[in-house]
Amino acid sequence: MQMKPLSIVCSLAALLFVLTGCNPTTPDATPTAPAATATTAPATEPPTATAIPEPTATPTPIPDTPKGQVEGLLYDSLKLTKPATDSIGIEGVYAFQLETATEQELWLAHTIGIRNFDPLQNHVLAIYEKAGESWQEVTRVELAMRDNPEDPGVSPDYLGEGTVTQVQVEPEHRWIQVEGGAGAHSGVYGLFSFDGTALTEEVSSFSSSPGVGRIEDLNNDGVAEVLLDASDPYVFCYACGVRLVQWAIERWDGTQMISVTLTSLSDAAPAEVKTFNQALIDLAQAGLWKDVLTKLEEAATFSYTEPALEWNLIYARLNGEARQGATTNEPAYPLLAQLFYGDYDAVLEILRDVGADALFIPETPLVVGAAAEGWEPTLADWIDQSVAPALTHNPDLATAYFLRGWGAYLREHDMAAAVADVQKAAELAPDEELFTKSVEFLTE
């Protein structure tokens, strides 16, 4: 008879005098202690752990180059220490050489990283000059926020390599441009002039979106202007994508940067030029930017020149074309894009496509499923703000009345205000079927 493997194991265990039970039916049997033997093996010492020395922290060597030397000077003077990997803080310094018209060697160094607020860290710009074999700090500026809501100053949360650059505005100064980040998605812009002794802040701006400003020679005179994005990205919400586009201009007048605004002409201007200029200003202030671009065509007929007229034309064209561009490429909410452009014919076409019976209902497709859904009172406010100056300029603008009436319905289903404005639109444009049908629909 063939012996099973388990029996063999038990037999061997017995022959070796192992007292541990071998019963396959009692796997949880408690083992008994082994019997004492005449000789005992010597106890083995447990292995001793070898002590591994802690690695010695070695500072990163500073390259023996002008760039490395300048970066080290600012780093050491600020007593910076690199933040931990899981925290924020200014993490280092970046330097680059400035272009000069002489053999003078100048370098600009600035901090990089995300500033901490506890304790407060502000970013710093500093300029160094090579003096023999050593470096001398010429000037430095701390980018700290000022206690002035209208002019908070240049105070970025984030700076990295390439966010501070040298730009060319005019030849008498060296110009430093700062393009920093702030908060989750905001931007900070600054422009500094350097006269050889001090850095002077000439322009500062903040926007809820990055890409706040840029340098551009708008009139091709060899002196660059600063274009600042003054758009409002919070028409509804930031993520909604609906923006009110607007640009501001800062120009160098020979001694300082001044803001470009639409202004009247001097008494020396011919009467027809004055009339044209005032009409252009009135259209822009009314938000009728489509008409502004049409009006600009008349400027080619004038031979009269004056700085105020030149800058009025530049400002009007810049913003008119920006508003026009916002109506193309599938805007997030076409109705407001056309309204902000002042194209009331395009606004009327959008309203016609919906129709009276689908405009004055809570489920209107002009709101439900669109960017304006959930923002009906805000939409009504934007309509009111936009049509008010347009109606002041042109009290017979029927579409403006109709749109305002629709806004009143959206805000609180104010039927009295809606009917009054829609009826006014129908009186001014009795041949417009949308207006007459809307009166019938609302009065029913």
DSSP 359-379: HSSTT-TTTTTSTTTT-HHHH
The mean pLDDT of 21-48, rounded to a whole number, is 38
Separation of alpha carbons 264 and 277, rounded Å: 7
Assess whether pLDDT exceeds 70 at residue 197.
yes
Q: What token pair was written down for 210?
A: 């990055």
pLDDT on residue 62: 52
pLDDT on residue 149: 82
pLDDT on residue 338: 98
pTM of the model: 0.82
- Tell me which of 42 and 331 has the higher pLDDT: 331
Is 13 a member of any domain? no
From residue 57, alpha-carbon distances to 51, 54, 61, 441 in Å are 18, 9, 12, 80
Is 132 a member of any domain? yes
pLDDT on residue 101: 85
Assess whether pLDDT exceeds 50 at residue 324.
yes
From residue 180, alpha-carbon distances to 162, 210, 408, 436 in Å are 10, 8, 41, 54
Q: From the CB of residue 145, how many other CB atoms can be counted at a distance below 10 Å?
A: 15
Separation of alpha carbons 263 and 82, rounded Å: 51
| pLDDT tens digits along 66-91 | 999 999 999 999 998 777 666 788 99
Indicate the residue among 208, 229, 250 that finishes a domain: 229
Q: What token pair was written down for 268?
A: 């020396």
Q: Are residues 345 and 211 in the same domain?
A: no
- Residue 349's domain is classified under what CATH number? 1.25.40
Is 360 a member of any domain? yes
Q: Are residues 216 and 78 in the same domain?
A: yes
Q: What are phi and psi of 269, to 5 degrees?
A: -70, 140
Assess whether pLDDT exceeds 60 at residue 272.
yes
- Residue 318 Cα to chain centre, angstroms: 21
Separation of alpha carbons 323 and 230, rounded Å: 12
Number of compact structural domains in the chain: 2
Amino acid at 193: S
159: CB partners within 8 A, 6+ apart: 110, 111, 112, 113, 123, 178, 180, 181
Is 313 a member of any domain? no
Is 81 a member of any domain? yes
Q: Torsion-angle region of residue 82: left (phi > 0), alpha (psi -120 to 50) or beta?
A: beta
Indicate the residue among 229, 248, 268 that finishes a domain: 229
Closest CA to 287 of 320, 239, 331, 318: 320
Indicate the residue among 198, 229, 260 that finishes a domain: 229
Q: Is the CB of residue 100 less than 8 Å from the CB of residue 174? A: yes
Question: Widest CA span of the chain, in angstroms?
Answer: 132
Q: Are residues 219 and 86 in the same domain?
A: yes
Separation of alpha carbons 444 and 437, rounded Å: 11
Is 415 a member of any domain? yes
Q: Are residues 225 and 338 in the same domain?
A: no
88 DSSP 8-state letter: -
Q: What token pair was written down for 254?
A: 């020979």
Is 356 a member of any domain? yes
pLDDT on residue 85: 67
Percent of the chain with pLDDT over 90: 77
- Tell me which of 361 and 37 has the higher pLDDT: 361
Quote the mean pLDDT of the chain: 87
From residue 80, alpha-carbon distances to 121, 142, 177 in Å are 10, 15, 24
Q: Are residues 220 and 347 in the same domain?
A: no
| pLDDT tens digits along 392-402 | 999 999 999 99
Q: Is the CB of residue 123 less than 8 Å from the CB of residue 90? A: yes
Q: What are phi and psi of 7, to 5 degrees?
A: -65, -35
Is 149 a member of any domain? yes
400: CB partners within 8 A, 6+ apart: 344, 387, 390, 391, 394
Q: Are residues 206 and 353 in the same domain?
A: no
Q: Is the CB of residue 113 less than 8 Å from the CB of residue 105? A: no
From residue 160, alpha-carbon distances to 79, 149, 179, 357 in Å are 19, 26, 9, 55
Residue 74, domain extent: 66-229
